[in-house]
Structure 1
Amino acid sequence: MQTEVLLDRFPGALAPLGPLAAWAHGSLAGGDHQEGRSDPDLIAVLPGPVRLGTVRRVAVLHQGLRADPLAAKPHCSYLTPAQAYGAAPGESLPEVPDREPAEFVVSDQRDLWRPAVDRAHRWTRDVRVDMGPVTSARAAVTLREGRRVRRAELVRGRLGPAIDGLVAAYA
């Protein structure tokens, strides 16, 4: 798998920056990363403070990553120990109370996505067009079933049957 090669390369590419930690997040960490389609979501903890030379090295790193078709649009976050510390995220984050995902989903749909629908200029970017309907469908599952649904599950488990029903009804 080429994604594994990319993930193996990332720590090496970070080496000149002296990273303290590096993590994958988003679809890479969640298990629904689609090779050749999903963007790599990566976090690196760098020794602080961040100076101009560090910013330049990060820019060079990103230029190198973008040369790889699998990393054309990397979503990377760079933190310093003052911004992040402790154990890996899975070991140190508190459990989320049951009501919090539902509260977040409702506010995200109401305060971010619904107003965006009325602003046509925002829908000229592929990320909005791709993410809007998927985010709304994932929100509906979270609210109805009380769980987070991965994109891959959404496509296979819900879009597939919806297409089958449409084709059967109009064939």
Structure 2
Amino acid sequence: MIDEAVQRLLDGFVTSIREVAAVEAVWLHGSLALGDFQLGRSDLDVVAVVASPPPAAIEDMHRRLIRAAPLAAKLHCSYLVAAELADPAVRHATFAQGRYFDRPVTPVTRRELALSNLSLFGPLPSSLLPATSDAELAAFIRRDLRDFWFPVTSKRTPWYADIWVDLSLLTIARAHVTLTTGELITKRTALDVLPSLHAPAAVVSDITRRRYGPSRRLAPWWRHRRAVLTRRFVSTTIPQVIS
């Protein structure tokens, strides 16, 4: 069941975007759709299908929602032009992390949309979105690990940030399962997979505590140690996962 505050936000969002753009459908994906949503921690991932490129007023609309309800800062939406739905390489207008920019709707997101098949407005994803093949999904995952995540291991600074620690380990675990079985798993399930990949137990516990337990300040010595452990794990495990 969706939290009442989240449902109000989603309902208000659908109403608001329909006032400023030619919206054909609004779809839900990510943790809320797949049953791993943590209020105040997880993002609210949405895709809107529009008849034409969204106007600049879309960005203003997102910022108004955030001013009215801080939870809206977690609401991320990509705006897919209906005529370009079939091409996963096309970059679409997106509001996420407080910024308005362009990015593709990846094969992973497309497969998530197909699995959850949830519509907040308009037709279901299954009726409009072309299917993503297993080969397309696997190729994207390998490319993402090889070309995005692995090069970052040559740097030191990113690994001191929570988001890089969390997403790197969870992405690797999820990639391993998808490349092995073809299935998509949640971030919560990914935490259970990490020990089998010989991820540092202390780092896995750290991620679990921050995502699902009470928050607390990290000691400087642990932040440094965690960065070293995470960077080492990512650099050695990615080649194994994509081989």
Same fold (TM over 0.5): yes
Q: What is the total number of aligned residue pairs between the two structures?
A: 160
Residues 1:64 and 2:64 aligned together:
yes
**Partner Cα distance (1:77, 1:118) in 2:** 30
- For the residue of structure 1 that corresponds to 2:36, the secondary structure is coil
1:17 matched residue in structure 2: 20
**Partner Cα distance (1:59, 1:96) in 2:** 29
- For the residue of structure 1 that corresponds to 2:84, the secondary structure is coil
Runs of 4+ in 1 over 6 A off after TM superposition: 159-163
**Partner Cα distance (1:159, 1:69) in 2:** 33
- For the residue of structure 2 that corresponds to 1:13, the secondary structure is helix
**Partner Cα distance (2:155, 2:81) in 1:** 36
**Partner Cα distance (1:153, 1:135) in 2:** 11
Residue 90 (structure 1) shift: 1.9
Q: Which runs of 5+ in 1 are unaligned?
A: none
Contact 1:47 1:81 in 2 (8 A): yes
Residue 121 (structure 1) shift: 4.0
Q: 1:109 aligns with which of 121, 131, 145?
A: 145
**Partner Cα distance (2:71, 2:195) in 1:** 26
Q: Which runs of 5+ in 2 are unaligned?
A: 87-121, 206-243
1:129 matched residue in structure 2: 165
**Partner Cα distance (2:70, 2:130) in 1:** 36
Change in 2 beyond 3 A, CA 1:75/1:144 = same
Contact 1:36 1:69 in 2 (8 A): no
Map 1:130-145 → 2, pairs under 5 A: 130-145=166-181
Which structure carries more strand by proportion?
A: 2
**What code does the residue aligned with 2:126 have?**
G
2:112 matched residue in structure 1: none
Contact 1:65 1:74 in 2 (8 A): no
User: What TM-score do you get using the length of structure 2 for normalisation?
Assistant: 0.54
